[in-house]
Structure 1
Amino acid sequence: MTWEVLNVIGTTAFAISGAIVAMRAEYDLLGVYVLSFVTAFGGGAVRNVLLGLPVSLLWEQQGLFILVFVVVSLFILLPQLIIKPWNRWGHFFDAIGLSAFAIQGAMLASQAGHSLSAVIVAATLTGTGGGIIRDVLAGRKPLVFRDEIYALWAVLAGVMIGMGWVTQPWATYFLFIVLVVLRMVSVFYNWRLPKPRAIQSSEEG
C-alpha cells in the first residue's frame, strides 16, 4: 500500500511539472504530453535499468498512464486556473515528486537485497531522473546540477532506508514529510552547496 501511494503521488507531481515546463516553452499539444510522460516515468525507467529490472515493467502501469493523461489534459483545457497556482506552489509539487520517488526507489532496491550504495543510487536516480530528462529535453540546466540543494534529499532517503532505519509504513510517511519540508526550507532560505574553486589555466596564470 505504501509503495502504491508513493507511486501515485510521485507520478502525479512530476507529470504536472513536465506539463508546466512544456507549456511555458510553448510546446505543441504532442510536446506537452510527451514531456509530461517522460518526466513522470523517466526516473523509474532509469532505476529499472540500474537494478537489472525489465524496463517493460513500466508498461504494466496502465492506471498511472491514464492518470497522467487525465492530469495533463486538465492542464491543457484549464491553463489559467492551474498555472497561476503552480507558479506559487511549483516548488512544493516538485518536492513532493522528489521525495515520493526517492523513497520508492530506495524501498525497491532495499527489498531486492542490494547494498547501501545501490540503495542510495536508486533513490537518487529515481527521485531526480525524470526531472533531469525533462530539463534536458526542454533545453534547461537540470535542477539537480544547480546551486540549490536538491539531490541531497534523495540521498538522505537512500541512507535512511538502506541503513534499515525506516521499516514501518508510518516511518516511511514520516520520512516523506520530512524530506518535503527540508526541500521547501532549502528553497525558502536559498540553501546552497559550496562550489569548488575555478581552475585557472596556466596561460591565465
Structure 2
Amino acid sequence: MAWEVFSIIGTIAFAISGAIIAMEEGYDLFGVYLLGIVTAFGGGAIRNLLIGLPVSTLWSQEMMFQVALFSITLFFLFPHRLLSHWHRWGNFTDAIGLSAFAIQGALHAVNLGLPLSAAIVAAVLTGCGGGIVRDLLAQRKPLVLRDEIYAAWAILAAIAIWFGLAVSDIALYIVFVVITALRVLSYTRKWQLPFRKLPIK
C-alpha cells in the first residue's frame, strides 16, 4: 500500500512542481505538460537505468501518467487570481515530491537486495533526478547543486529505510512527514551546506 501511495503523492507533487516552473517561465501548454511529465518521471527513469532495470518499465505506469496529466491539466485550468499565489508553493510541492520519491527509490533498491550505496543512489536519483532535468530545461540552476540542503534529505531517507528503521507502512509515512518537514525547514530557515566560491579571474 505504501508503495502506491508514495507513487501517487510523488507523481502529483512533481507534476505540479514542473507545471509551476513552466508557467513561471512563460512556457506554452506543451511546455507545461512537458516539464510536468519530465519532473514526475525523469528521476525514476534515470534510477532504473543505473540500478540495472530496463527504462521501458516506465511505460507500464499508465495510471501514473494519467494521474500526472490530470494534475497538470487541473492546475493549468485554475483561475488566474489563484495561480498568482501558487509560485509560493513551488518549493512545498517539490519537498513533497522529493520525500515521496526518495522513499520509493530506497524501497526499490532494498527490495532488490542492493547495498546501502545503491539505496542512496536510487533515493537521490528518484527524488532529485526529475527536478534536475526540469531545472535544466527551464535554464535554472538545479536545486540539488545549490548550497541549500536538498539531496541530503533523500540520503537520510535511504539510510533510515536500508537500516530497517521504517519497516511498516506507518513508519514509512512518518519518515515521509519528517523528510518533507526537514526540507521545508531547510529552505524557510535558509539552512546551508558548507560551500566555497572561487573568485573569477
Which deviates more, 175-184 or 66-75?
66-75
Could you list the per-position Cα deviations for residues 95-114 of structure 1 after superposition, in whole angstroms to 9, with x for gaps in the alignment? 10000000000000011000
SS at match of 2:95: helix
Could you list the per-position Cα deviations for residues 71-90 of structure 1 after superposition, in whole angstroms to 9, with x for gaps in the alignment? 11122222525523422322
Q: CA deviation at 1:199?
A: 7.3
Name the CA distance, whole Å, in 2 between partners of 1:79 and 1:192: 36
Q: Does 1:84 align with 2:48?
A: no
> Counterpart in 1 of 2:12?
12
Structure 1 runs, 4 residues or longer, greater than 3 Å off: none
> Counterpart in 1 of 2:66?
66
1:126/1:79 Cα in 2 relative to 1: closer, same or farther (>3 Å)? Answer: farther
SS at match of 2:198: coil
Q: CA deviation at 1:164?
A: 2.0
Name the CA distance, whole Å, in 2 between partners of 1:152 and 1:80: 35
Structure 1: 5+ residue stretches without partners: none
> Counterpart in 1 of 2:30?
30
Residues 54-203 of structure 1: pairs in structure 2 closer than 5 A: 54-80=54-80, 82-196=82-196, 198=198
TM-score, normalising length: structure 2:
0.95
Name the CA distance, whole Å, in 2 between partners of 1:137 and 1:4: 28
1:75 and 1:82 in contact (8 A); partners too: no
Q: CA deviation at 1:35?
A: 1.0
**Identity between Structure 1 and Structure 2 (%):** 56
Could you list the per-position Cα deviations for residues 130-158 of structure 1 after superposition, in whole angstroms to 9, with x for gaps in the alignment? 00000001111001111211110001011
Q: CA deviation at 1:22?
A: 0.8
SS at match of 2:192: coil
Aligned length: 201
Name the CA distance, whole Å, in 2 between partners of 1:19 and 1:42: 14
1:82/1:123 Cα in 2 relative to 1: closer, same or farther (>3 Å)? Answer: farther
TM-score, normalising length: structure 1:
0.93
1:79/1:51 Cα in 2 relative to 1: closer, same or farther (>3 Å)? Answer: farther
Structure of higher CA gyration radius = 1
> RMSD in angstroms over aligned alpha carbons?
1.5
